[in-house]
Amino acid sequence: MTALQRTGRWIGDHVVLFMAAVVLLYMFLPIFFVVLMSFNDPVSRLAYEFDAFTLDNWLNPCSAAGMCDSVVKSLQIGFLATFGATVLGTLVAFALVRHRFRGRSATSLLIFLPMATPEVVMGSSLLALFTTAGLAGSLGFWSILIAHIMFCLSFVVVTVKARLAGLDSRYEQAAMDLYANEWQTFWRVTFPLVFPGILAAALLSFSLSFDDFIVTNFNHGNTITFPMFVWGSAQRGIPPQVNVIGTMMFLLALLLVIGSGAVNRRRAR
């Protein structure tokens, strides 16, 4: 085998690996940049390049005026929207999967509509709706929350429905056969088995709500959520602390994924 052939063989063997590495790099470069910028000490407010290394941003994340307030606001809305959408969406999913009623398939289809509607359209028409209802003056926390619950709902329904549809009804029959009444059957068997779907739906809702910009932009009144804060400060130069929040969110998500993986592995053992 000549050296050329060997090289050719080596490239052939590793080309897929190489492509994968390039794609991963493509995906992670922006995240890496967020982490990097969280340690930036910019010379001017409008600087977008890395100037000097500092830990100040991590030690005093709230030193950027108004940022931590906006994060708290986003977290509040995120948790409440997640709770509302998850509860309502789970109920809808159960109704759609477990009950036969007139208009069931139509409802299933309509549930998809908010997901398919462009967010810009949805945001502006929501504003029109709030204004028509005479609420133009009181836009803020509650209007954002209502909007977020509304668009998270479809995602919850779809996610929980998929889990529920894949659930073998024999588990519930077995529970009933083993002296569990309807209530016990639900809490002891149905709910634990559907729970992974509900949890996934909740996480999805939270992430959708936390970083929603478009719909919020139309309906936020004077309330500043984290995405609104970032957008607003972009005009005057984004404070590096924003990258600290970004990195924290990223680490939190990473921890959740690793944690759930560990739980799954322990269960499988």
Partner 1 sequence: MTASHAASDASGADLALSSVTKRFGSFTAVDDLDLLVGRGQFFALLGPSGCGKTTTLRMVAGLEEPTAGRIDLAGKDITRLKPYKRPVNTVFQNYALFPHLNIFENVAFGLRRRGVKDVKGQVQDMLDLVELSSYGGRRPGQLSGGQQQRVALARALINRPQVLLLDEPLGALDLKLRRQMQIELKRIQTEVGITFIHVTHDQEEAMTMADTIAVMNEGVIEQMGGPTELYDNPATTFVSNFLGQSNLVAGEVLGQSGHELVVAVEGSKLGVPMDRARSTSGAVWVGVRPEKVFLAASGTETEDNDNVLRGAVVTDVSFIGVSTQYLVRMPWSQELTVFEQNTGARESFRPGDAVDLHWMAAHTFVLDAAQDAHAGDETYDADLAPAGAGT
| Nearest C-alpha neighbor of 242 from the set 1, 13, 37 | 37
- What SS3 class is residue 135? coil
Among 177, 251, 259, 264, binds partner 1 (CB under 8 A): 177
Q: Smallest distance from the beta carbon of 266 to partner 1, in angstroms?
A: 11
Q: Smallest distance from the beta carbon of 83 to partner 1, in angstroms?
A: 23
Q: Does 265 bind partner 1 (CB under 8 A)?
A: no
Cβ atoms of residues 96 and 104 within 8 Å: yes
Q: Does 179 bind partner 1 (CB under 8 A)?
A: yes
Nearer to partner 1, 33 or 191 (CB): 191
| Helix or strand (DSSP H, E) at 82 | helix 67-98
Residues 33-52 contacting partner 1, CB under 8 A:
none
Residues 203-232 contacting partner 1, CB under 8 A:
none
Nearer to partner 1, 62 or 178 (CB): 178
Q: Does 100 bind partner 1 (CB under 8 A)?
A: no
Stretch that binds partner 1, among 83-91, 102-110, 121-129, 167-175 (CB under 8 A): 167-175
Q: Does 98 bind partner 1 (CB under 8 A)?
A: no
Report in angstroms the alpha-carbon separations of 161 from 69, 80, 133, 134.
36, 22, 33, 36
Name the residue with tokens 């948790």: 79
Name the residue with tokens 């209007």: 143
Compute the distance between CA of residue 147 and CA of residue 80 in angstroms, rounded to an integer.
12
Return phi, psi of residue 133, to 5°: -75, 0
Interface contacts to partner 1, rule CB under 8 A: 168, 170-171, 173-181, 184, 188-189, 192-193, 267-268
